Chain A
Amino acid sequence: MNRDPARVSFSVNGMPVVVSAPPVRRLSAVLREDLSLTGTKVGCDAGDCGACTVLVDGEPLCACLVPAARLEGAQVRTVEGLANGMLSRLQASFLAHGAAQCGICTPGLLMAATALLERSPNPAEGEVADALGGVLCRCTGYRKIVRAVMEAGAATDALDLRLPAAGRAVGAAPVRLDGMAKVTGAEMFGADGIPPDALAVIVVRSPHHHARFAFGDLGAYASGNPGIVGIFTAADIPGVNRFGTIPAFADQPALAEGLVRFRGEAAALVAVERNAARELDLAAFPIEWTPLPHVLDADAAHTAEPLHETRKGNLLTQGFVEHGDPEAALAGAAVVVSGAIETSYVEHAYIEPEAGYAAMDGDTLIIRACTQAPYMDRDDTARVLGLSPANVRIVPTATGGGFGAKLDLSVQPLIGLVALKTGRPAALAYSRSESMASTTKRHPASMRATIGADADGHIVGMTFDGEFNTGAYASWGPTVATRVPIHASGPYVTPNYRATGRAIHTNGPISGAFRGFGVPQATIMQETLYDELAARLGRDRLEFRLANALRNGSVTVCGQRLQSGVGIVDCLEALRPRWSEAGAAAEAFNAAHDGIRRGVGIASCWYGCGNTSLPNPSTMKIGLTADGALVLHQGAIDIGQGSNTVIAQIAADALGVPLAAIRLESGDTAITPDAGKTSASRQTFVSGRAAQAAASALRETLLRFANVSDRAAIDLAPGKLVIRDGEATRSLDLSVLPVDADGYVFSATESYDPPTAPLDAKGQGSPYAVYGYGAQIVELDVDLALGTVRLVRISAAHDVGRAINPLLAEGQIEGGIAQGIGLALMEEYVPGRTENLHDYLIPTIGDVPPIDTILVEVPDPEGPFGAKGLGEHVLIPTAPAILNAIRHATGVLVTKVPATPSRVLAALRARESGP
Chain B
Amino acid sequence: MTRYARPETVEEALHLLGDGVWRILAGGTDFYPSLGDRPVRDHILDVSALAALRGIGETDAGFVFGAATRWIDIARHDLPPAFDALRQAAREVGSIQIQNAGTIGGNLCNASPAADGVPALMVLDATVEVRSRESTRHLGLSDFILGNRRTALRPGEMVTAVNVPKRAARGRSAFVKLGARRYLVISIAMAAARIEAGPDGTIANAAVSVGACSAVAQRLGFLEDALVGRPIDGDLGEAVHVSDFAALSPIDDVRGSAAYRREAAVEIVRRAVRAAAARPASGELAA
Contact = CB atoms under 8 A, between A and B. Distances in A.
Interface in B235-287: 254-257, 259-260, 263-264, 267-268
A212 B140 CA distance: 50
B25 A24 contact: yes
A2 interface: yes
B93 to A, nearest CB: 11
Contact of B98 (A23, A62, A786, A841): A62
Most chain B CB within a 10 A radius of its CB, from A67, A846, A847: A67
Interface stretch (B37-45, B152-160, B200-208): B37-45
Given A3-B4, A134-B94, A834 B254 contact: yes
A838 interface: yes
B185 A841 contact: yes
Interface in B9-66: 25, 27-29, 31-33, 36-41, 44, 46, 48
Interface stretch (B79-87, B174-182, B225-233): B174-182
Interface in A94-136: 112, 115, 129-131, 133-136
A826 B180 contact: yes
A787 interface: yes
Given A2-B1, A3-B2, A841 B180 contact: yes
Given A3-B44, A69-B46, 8 more contacts: A48-B184, A70-B48, A112-B97, A134-B97, A787-B260, A844-B184, A847-B181, A906-B257
A907 to B, nearest CB: 11
Nearest to A23: B4
A62 B263 contact: no
Interface stretch (A276-284, A544-552, A611-619, A875-883): A276-284
A2 B4 contact: yes
A838 B3 contact: no
Contacts of A130: 91, 96
A204 B175 CA distance: 44
Given A3-B2, A67-B46, A70-B46, A62 B101 contact: yes
A26 B32 contact: yes
A591 interface: no
Contact of A60 (B1, B91, B100): B100
Given A66-B101, A130-B96, A901-B188, A45 B36 contact: yes
A112 B96 contact: yes
24 contacts: A2-B1, A2-B3, A3-B4, A4-B1, A23-B44, A47-B33, A62-B97, A62-B98, A65-B32, A65-B101, A70-B48, A133-B183, A134-B94, A134-B183, A136-B184, A279-B39, A281-B41, A836-B33, A838-B186, A844-B182, A845-B182, A846-B181, A847-B182, A905-B263
Interface of B: 1-6, 25, 27-29, 31-33, 36-41, 44, 46, 48, 72, 91, 94-98, 100-101, 178, 180-186, 188, 254-257, 259-260, 263-264, 267-268
Contacts of B46: 23-24, 67, 69-70
Given A23-B46, A45-B32, A47-B97, A1 B27 contact: no
A131 B44 CA distance: 31
Interface string A26-63: 10000000000000000001111010010000011110
A843 interface: yes
Given A2-B1, A23-B44, A66-B28, A843 B181 contact: yes
B282 to A, nearest CB: 19
Contact of B256 (A50, A112, A901): A901
A735 interface: no
Given A61-B97, A830-B254, A67 B25 contact: yes
Nearest to B5: A1
A833 B253 CA distance: 9
B3 A1 contact: yes
A75 interface: no
B96 A838 contact: no
Contacts of B95: 47, 50, 133-135
A281 B36 contact: no
A278 B38 CA distance: 7
Question: Which 8 pairs from chain A and chain B are nearest by CB?
Answer: A134-B95, A846-B182, A133-B183, A46-B33, A902-B260, A23-B4, A844-B183, A902-B256
B92 to A, nearest CB: 10
A786 B260 CA distance: 8
B184 A46 contact: no
Contacts of B259: 906
Contacts, number: 168
Nearest to B72: A59
A131 B33 contact: no
Nearest to A898: B180
A227 to B, nearest CB: 12
A839 B254 contact: yes
A418 B207 CA distance: 62
Contact of B260 (A60, A69, A905): A905
A70 B186 CA distance: 27
A433 B36 CA distance: 9
A61 B100 contact: yes
B37 A47 contact: no
B268 A133 contact: no
Interface in A897-914: 900-902, 905-906, 909
Nearest to B176: A786
B260 A839 contact: no
A139 interface: no
A390 interface: no
Contacts of B29: 47, 65
B260 A901 contact: yes
Nearest to A828: B254
Contacts of B178: 786, 788, 901
Contacts of B96: 60, 112, 115, 130-131, 133-134
Interface in A552-572: none
Interface string A279-293: 111110000000000
Contacts of A906: 257, 259-260
B38 to A, nearest CB: 7
Nearest to A50: B97
B181 A841 contact: yes
B269 to A, nearest CB: 11
A838 B114 CA distance: 12
Contacts of A4: 1
Contacts of B2: 2-3
B212 to A, nearest CB: 13
A786 to B, nearest CB: 5
Contact of B28 (A22, A65, A433): A65
Nearest to A826: B180
A46 B259 CA distance: 30
Contact of B6 (A69, A785, A902): A69
A748 B125 CA distance: 78
B256 A65 contact: no
A472 B1 CA distance: 43
A200 to B, nearest CB: 10
Interface in A630-688: none
B34 to A, nearest CB: 9
B264 A905 contact: yes
B22 to A, nearest CB: 12
Contacts of B39: 278-281
A69 B4 contact: yes
Contacts of A23: 4, 6, 44, 46
Most central of A62, A431, A846 by chain B CB within 10 Å: A62
Contacts of A828: 254
A433 B100 CA distance: 25
B268 A844 contact: no
Contacts of A61: 97, 100-101
Contacts of A843: 181
A134 B263 contact: no
Residue of B3, B37, B91 with most chain A CB atoms under a 10 A cut-off: B37
Given A47-B98, A60-B100, A65 B27 contact: yes
Contacts of B3: 1-3
A785 B267 contact: yes
A901 B36 contact: no
